[in-house]
Amino acid sequence: MTVEPLSTACAAVVERGEHACFGISPFNSYFSTARIRELAAWGLARFERVDFFVPDVPSAFTFEALGYTPQKAAWKARRQGQYTRNKIAAALGSLQVADAGARVLGWAELEGNAAFGRLHAHGQQRYTEDASFRDACREASGWVLAGKLPAGQTPDAEQIERAVRYFLAELPLFLDTPSIVDAGISVFCYHQPPAVLRRLYAGELGWRPAAGQGFAVVTPTGRK
């Protein structure tokens, strides 16, 4: 597995090997059952604890931005979210992991989590009050939307404003997973982070990740 920590502090978190949280995107074909199994096998061998973050319900915000009604967007998000949970369960089951369901962090698990709620509310407030932070969030959301639109199309301001709610729902896991999962330290693992996360971990956005939070770009060696 190829591992690229986003900073020296992130590298130290990876090295300690306490907790890893893998981001598993519901509508991304990259995350096949085989790929999830490969990531899980590496994580379980490398870290004391491993969880999988599935932004299931917030995925509806992206579909609203693409023109779906809120009802249709929510339905698609729920259906694909369950499919993604099933893939994780199958991958972990093949690795003889008994508590597969307990290792998934979706909206059902997070919306009642006090630490997550505090971070989510803070992110929404900062988005409203901090213009530079708001621009960075919009840039990240525009990057996501651009990959889902037909070739040659770019998202407009209204689409980005709808979609940014998805990024704000993910943000707590990039900032302070340890407080959410009750760990001393944690590294968030994903294969293709938007540029805003490199800026976040470089301390350029005025809101720094918690001291025990790391981020690493993790990909199977030789593949992306």
Using one digit for the tens of pLDDT, what is the confidence trace for 189-224?
Answer: 999 888 899 999 998 988 899 999 999 999 988 665
pLDDT tens for residues 3-60? 999 999 999 999 999 999 999 999 898 999 999 999 999 999 999 999 999 999 999 9
Q: ∠ at Cα 22 (214, 2), nearest 5°?
A: 75
Q: Give the span between the Cα atoms of 11 and 185, in whole angstroms.
A: 12
Domain range list for the chain = 2-219
User: Which amino acid, residue 15?
Assistant: E
Phi, psi at residue 27, to the nearest 5°? -110, 30
Q: Which CATH architecture best describes the domain 2-219?
A: 3-Layer(aba) Sandwich (3.40)
pTM of the model: 0.93
Catalytic residue status for 25: yes
Mean per-residue pLDDT, 165-171:
95
| Strand bridging mode 19-23 / 186-190 | parallel
CA of 80: how far to CAs of 12, 141, 161, 172, 175, in Å? Answer: 35, 20, 23, 22, 26
Confidence of residue 131 (pLDDT cuts 50, 70, 90): very high
Query: Taking the C-alpha atoms of 43, 22, 190 and 153 in order, what is their torsion angle to the nearest 10 degrees?
Result: 150
Which of the following is catalytic: 25, 59, 141, 186?
Answer: 25
